[in-house]
Each structure stands twice: as C-alpha cells, then as structure tokens.
C-alpha cells in the first residue's frame, strides 16, 4: 500500500462507536464496516465511488497490486468474480478488453460496478450481474481471462453471514472456492487463463484438496506483503493450469 493509498484509507473511514463487531470481522476493519453514505476514494491514479454495503478496496493492497499484474486480453473477454465496487473490471475495460463481465453476490456491488464503469467512460464494455459465483452465466459462456480475489478465510460449514464485510473475507466450508476451481475452467475459452487472489490467512491444505479434486496445478505470479496492527499478511496471485 502506498502512502497515498494509506492516507485515503484514513480519510475515508466512517466511525461506528458503540456498535457490536460482527462475528469473524477483525476489529481493525470495524470502522470501514459502518459506512452509511457514498464516498469517493483514490486508487490506481483514479477516483472511484464507493457505495454503502460494498467492500472498500483501499484498505489492503491486493486490489491495486493484482489489478496491475493481471493480463488483460486486448479485444477479448474478461470475467471478474466478486467485483465489489468494480475497480478491476473497469481497469480491464480501460486496458482494452472488449467484453468485461463482473459478477457479485450483492446488488450493492453490482450497482457500484456500473456506477464506476459509467464514471470512467466504459459503461458500454462492462456488464455487471448479481450472481453466486458463476450461477448467472449461461453454461456456454466462455472468457479469455477469469479472475477472483477470494474470500480466503475458511469459516465453519454452518457459518451464517451477518454483515456484508464477512462475505468479502470468509467462505463457509470453502464452497465458493470449490465452485471456482471446478466450474471456472468450464467457462474458459480455448487458451484462456484462470487466476485466483489468495492470502496466507486462508487454508492452504483445504485449497490443495480442492485443486486435486479439480485436476489443477497452481503457479504463483507474485506476492504482496501487508502489515496491519503488527500482523503480516501475504497476498498471492495464483494461476491455474490443468494437470498434464
């Protein structure tokens, strides 16, 4: 995270003193969770809108870092799972992807993605759909690049979300990770590429089990180190290939 991004983080916080912290939500994220009106933030040398109920991508480095690292198919198709406010999907369109599809499980994120696509002049190239993973896609839709910055914390199978911030960081039973690894390759065009953003707070053993089930091998394209409140988290961009 750059000093500019860190400054934006401080100025964009909304306070919520006296309210209970939702289960599983780290206390350092609590202030961000209380946002109740639209705000603006700066990232990747652009200004973005953030609507209430949408994950703030400026509070950790992976949106900026992974968005800079990803390959964007010029004139091709790009799919982002879990688009949030739409930063990566909008950048994909700005970088030349001819067709961008952004999926998110909340309507707030879908709306936010469309707001930012319009703000940056790429509304005609970005389609946003409310979807639990790939559910809203037609079975025969194919993409040149598929990307998901995952909710890497493994939650118990019976965990119930009580706050939108939990959805961004927690995956009960790794059901969503299983869907990504099993169903993602089915939506790849010939020669397409599959990318996952993951971090070291996730369960690598469980992820390896799912990779084995899906018949995929991973390579690491890069790692971002982030220190918050004395705790270090490494965010990693992974690419998946079918086993030979």
1 contacts 43 by C-beta, under 8 angstroms? no
Q: Which burial class, exposed, middle or buried, applies to 195 when counting CB atoms under 10 A from its CB (0-12, 13-18, 19+)?
A: buried
Q: List CB contacts of 14: < 8 A, sequence separation 6 or more.
A: 31, 32, 34, 35, 36, 37, 39
Report pLDDT for 23: 60
Residue-wise pLDDT tens digits, 87-115: 999 999 999 999 999 999 999 999 999 99
R_g of the chain computed on alpha carbons:
17
What is the CA 240 to chain-centroid distance, rounded? Answer: 17
- Select the more confidently predicted residue: 159 or 243: 159
CB burial class (10 A; 0-12, 13-18, 19+) of residue 107?
Answer: exposed
The percentage of residues in the chain with a pLDDT greater than 90, rounded to a whole number, is: 76
Residue 81 has pLDDT above 90, yes or no: yes
Instruction: Specify the long-range contacts of residues 157-161, CB closer than 8 Å, at least 24 apart.
Output: 159/24
Q: Measured between alpha carbons, how far is 110 from 127 in angstroms, rounded to an integer?
A: 9
- Measure the CA–CA gap between 34 and 14, rounded to whole angstroms: 6
Tell me whether strands 77-81 and 99-104 are parallel, antiparallel or unpaired. parallel
Q: Which of 153, 138, 228, 240 lies closest to 187 in space, CA to CA?
A: 138
Q: What is the pLDDT of residues 24-72, one digit of tens each?
A: 666 666 667 777 899 999 999 999 999 999 999 998 899 999 999 999 9
**Cβ(31)–Cβ(14) below 8 Å:** yes
Q: Is the pTM value of this prediction over 0.85?
A: yes
Confidence band (pLDDT; 50, 70, 90) for 162? Answer: confident
Token pair listed for 183:
């169903």
Report the interhelical angle of 62-69 vs 87-94 (nearest 10°).
20
Q: What is the model's pLDDT at position 8?
A: 35
Q: Which tens digits make up the pLDDT trace of 165-186?
A: 889 999 999 999 999 999 999 9
**pLDDT interval class at 243 (50, 70, 90):** confident
Q: What was the pLDDT predicted at 233?
A: 83
Per-residue pLDDT at 35: 78
Q: With a cut of 80, say whether residue 15 has pLDDT above it.
A: no
Classify residue 58 by its DSSP letter: T
Going by pLDDT thresholds of 50, 70 and 90, the confidence category of residue 227 is confident
């Amino acid at each position: 995270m750059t000093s500019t991004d860190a400054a934006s983080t401080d100025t964009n916080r909304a306070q919520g003193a006296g309210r209970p912290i939702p289960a599983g939500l780290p206390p350092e994220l609590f202030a961000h969770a209380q946002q109740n009106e639209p705000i603006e933030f700066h990232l990747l040398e652009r200004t973005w809108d953030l609507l209430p109920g949408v994950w703030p991508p400026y509070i950790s480095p992976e949106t900026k870092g992974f968005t800079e690292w990803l390959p964007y198919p010029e004139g091709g198709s790009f799919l982002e799972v879990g688009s949030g406010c739409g930063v990566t999907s909008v950048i994909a369109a700005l970088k030349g992807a001819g067709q961008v599809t952004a999926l998110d499980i909340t309507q707030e994120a879908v709306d936010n993605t469309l707001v930012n696509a319009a703000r940056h002049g790429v509304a005609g190239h970005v389609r946003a759909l409310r979807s639990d993973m790939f559910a809203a896609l037609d079975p025969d839709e194919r993409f040149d690049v598929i990307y998901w910055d995952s909710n890497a914390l493994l939650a118990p199978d019976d965990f119930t979300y009580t706050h939108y911030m939990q959805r961004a960081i927690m995956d009960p039973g790794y059901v969503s990770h299983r869907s990504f690894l099993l169903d993602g390759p089915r939506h790849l065009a010939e020669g397409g590429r599959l990318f996952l953003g993951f971090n070291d707070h996730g369960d690598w053993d469980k992820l390896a089990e799912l990779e084995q089930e899906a018949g995929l091998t991973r390579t690491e394209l890069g790692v971002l180190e982030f220190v918050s409140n004395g705790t270090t988290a490494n965010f990693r961009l992974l690419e998946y290939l079918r086993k030979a």
